[in-house]
C-alpha cells in the first residue's frame, strides 16, 4: 500500500468545479489585486476563527515583516525566538535589522520555552516571536506574563496553527499580533502564495493596513515607506471556498492523530503530547526516535512517505553564523531536530492508509 507524505491533488480535484467557477467570476470581473474576493475572505476568516479584523497578504512571510515594524523592532533590539521552526519565522526580525536571540523549546510541545525566554531577557529585549509549531499552541499564559512584566511586543506565528485555540482563545489573538500563511501545503492553503495578519489592537491593524499597500492612506499620498504585500483576488476567491471546509479538515486531522497516538506502540518512540490547555490542529504529526534515519528507510520500503521537519535548527544555519551559536548550545531543539520524523497527516488519508502507517511503524 502507498501512503504519500502529502497529496494535494485529492483536495483540489474534490473542489475543482467550485473553485474554477469562482476563479472565472473573479477573472471576468478583473478583480486581480485585493477587491471583493479578498474582502469577503477577510470577513469570513475573522468571523469563523474569532478575530476582530483580518488583513489578507501575499505570503506568510510578509505579515511577519509587518509585525516587526508594528512592534517598533529595529537595530540594537533583541527579539527572542525559537530555532525549531521554518526560517521565515526569523526573517521578520532580520529584515528590520533587529537581532534574533534563539532560546530552547519545551521537550513536550516543541514550542518556545517560557523558562528559556525568562533567562534570555536583557534590557535590549523588545519582543518575542512565538511559533505554534506543527499546529500545537505554545504556553501563552507564561509568555504573556513575561511580556507584561518586561513590556515586550508578542508576535504569534500561526502559519501552522490556523484554527488552533489556547484555553478557548484563537492563537494569534492572544499576543499583540498574529500571522498566517496560506502556502498550498498549510492546513488552509491557496492555489499559490498567500498570508494574513491579525491584531487585537485597532491601531496596529491600521498601521499594518497602511504598510500593506505602499504606506498610502489614499491614492498617491504616502505617509510611510510601505510595501506591496497585497493578496491577489484569485487567492481570496479560492480561500473563501476552502475556509468553509477547514473545520471538517481539522476534525479529520485530529481523528488521524488520535489513531496514531492510540495505535503506535513502541517504547523507543516519543509521541507528540496533547496538552490540557488546547488542542493541536495537527499541521504535522511528528515523533522522535533515536534511529530516525533507519526508521525512515524502513517506512519508505513499506510505501510510507515521511519528512524530516526540521533537520537543521535556525541558530546553526549558515545565514546566522555571525551570531556565533555553537552546536550543543540549544540542546532540546538540537536533539529534537536530530530525532524527528513526520508521518503523513492530511484530511484525505483513508483509515486503511492510517492503519498501514501504524503497522509499519510498529513493525520497525
Please give the residue ranges that form the binding site for ligand PLP (CB under 6 A): 59-61, 85-86, 88-89, 131, 157, 159-160, 181, 183, 195
Work out how close the CB of 330 gets to ligand PLP at its nearest, in angstroms, rounded to a whole number. Answer: 17
Nearer to ligand PLP (CB atom), residue 45 or residue 354: 45
Angle, vertex CA 44, rays to CA 39 and CA 46, nearest 5 = 95
In whole angstroms, give the CA distance from residue 69 to residue 97. Answer: 11
Work out how close the CB of 241 gets to ligand PLP at its nearest, in angstroms, rounded to a whole number. Answer: 19
Residue with cell 535589522: 97
Grid cell, residue 296, equals 525512515
**Could you count the other beta carbons within 10 Å of the beta carbon of residue 294?**
11
Which helix (H) or strand (E) element contains residue 343?
strand 340-343
Q: What does DSSP assign to residue 228?
A: B
Nearer to ligand PLP (CB atom), residue 51 or residue 229: 229
Work out how close the CB of 57 gets to ligand PLP at its nearest, in angstroms, rounded to a whole number. Answer: 9
Nearer to ligand PLP (CB atom), residue 63 or residue 173: 63
Work out how close the CB of 95 gets to ligand PLP at its nearest, in angstroms, rounded to a whole number. Answer: 12
Inter-residue contact 255 to 283 (CB < 8 Å): no
Work out how close the CB of 283 gets to ligand PLP at its nearest, in angstroms, rounded to a whole number. Answer: 8
Q: What is the CA radius of gyration of the chain?
A: 20
Q: What does DSSP assign to residue 28?
A: H
Work out how close the CB of 336 gets to ligand PLP at its nearest, in angstroms, rounded to a whole number. Answer: 15
In whole angstroms, give the CA distance from residue 140 to residue 159. Answer: 16
Nearer to ligand PLP (CB atom), residue 54 or residue 59: 59
Nearest to ligand PLP by Cβ — which residue?
60
Paired with 81 in beta bridges are: 102, 129
Amino acid at each position: 500500500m502507498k501512503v504519500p507524505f502529502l497529496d494535494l491533488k485529492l483536495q483540489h480535484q474534490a473542489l475543482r468545479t467550485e473553485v474554477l467557477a469562482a476563479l472565472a467570476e473573479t477573472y471576468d470581473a478583473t478583480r486581480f489585486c485585493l477587491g471583493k474576493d479578498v474582502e469577503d475572505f477577510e470577513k469570513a476568516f475573522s468571523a469563523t476563527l474569532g478575530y476582530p479584523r483580518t488583513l489578507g497578504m501575499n505570503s506568510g512571510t510578509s505579515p511577519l515583516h509587518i509585525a516587526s515594524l508594528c512592534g517598533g523592532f529595529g537595530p540594537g533590539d533583541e527579539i527572542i525566538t525559537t530555532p525549531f521552526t521554518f526560517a521565515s519565522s526569523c526573517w521578520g526580525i532580520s529584515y528590520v535589522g533587529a537581532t534574533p536571540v534563539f532560546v530552547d523549546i519545551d521537550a513536550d510541545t516543541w514550542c518556545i520555552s517560557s523558562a528559556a525566554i525568562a533567562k534570555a531577557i536583557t534590557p535590549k529585549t523588545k519582543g518575542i516571536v512565538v511559533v505554534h509549531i506543527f499546529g500545537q499552541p505554545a504556553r501563552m499564559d507564561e509568555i504573556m506574563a513575561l511580556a507584561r512584566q518586561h513590556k515586550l511586543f508578542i508576535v504569534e506565528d500561526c502559519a501552522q496553527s490556523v484554527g488552533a485555540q489556547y484555553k478557548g482563545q484563537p492563537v494569534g489573538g492572544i499576543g499583540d499580533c498574529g500571522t498566517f500563511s496560506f502556502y498550498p501545503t498549510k492546513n488552509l492553503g491557496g492555489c499559490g502564495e498567500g498570508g494574513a495578519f491579525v491584531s487585537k489592537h485597532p491601531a496596529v491593524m491600521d498601521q499594518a493596513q497602511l504598510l500593506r499597500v505602499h504606506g498610502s492612506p489614499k491614492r498617491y499620498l504616502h505617509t510611510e515607506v510601505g510595501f506591496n504585500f497585497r493578496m491577489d483576488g484569485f487567492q481570496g476567491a479560492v480561500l473563501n471556498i476552502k475556509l468553509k471546509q477547514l473545520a471538517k479538515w481539522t476534525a479529520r486531522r485530529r481523528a488521524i492523530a488520535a489513531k496514531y497516538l492510540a495505535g503506535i506502540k513502541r517504547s523507543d518512540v516519543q509521541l507528540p503530547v496533547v496538552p490540557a490547555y488546547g488542542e493541536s490542529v495537527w499541521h504535522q504529526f511528528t515523533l522522535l526516535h533515536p534511529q530516525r534515519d533507519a526508521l525512515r528507510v524502513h517506512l519508505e520500503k513499506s510505501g510510507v512517505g515521511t519528512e524530516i521537519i526540521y533537520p537543521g535548527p535556525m541558530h546553526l544555519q549558515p545565514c546566522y553564523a555571525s551570531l556565533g551559536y555553537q552546536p550543543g548550545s540549544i540542546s532540546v531543539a538540537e536533539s529534537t531536530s536530530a530525532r524527528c520524523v513526520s508521518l503523513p497527516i492530511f484530511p484525505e488519508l483513508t483509515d486503511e492508509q492510517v492503519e498501514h502507517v501504524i503497522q509499519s511503524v510498529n513493525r520497525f
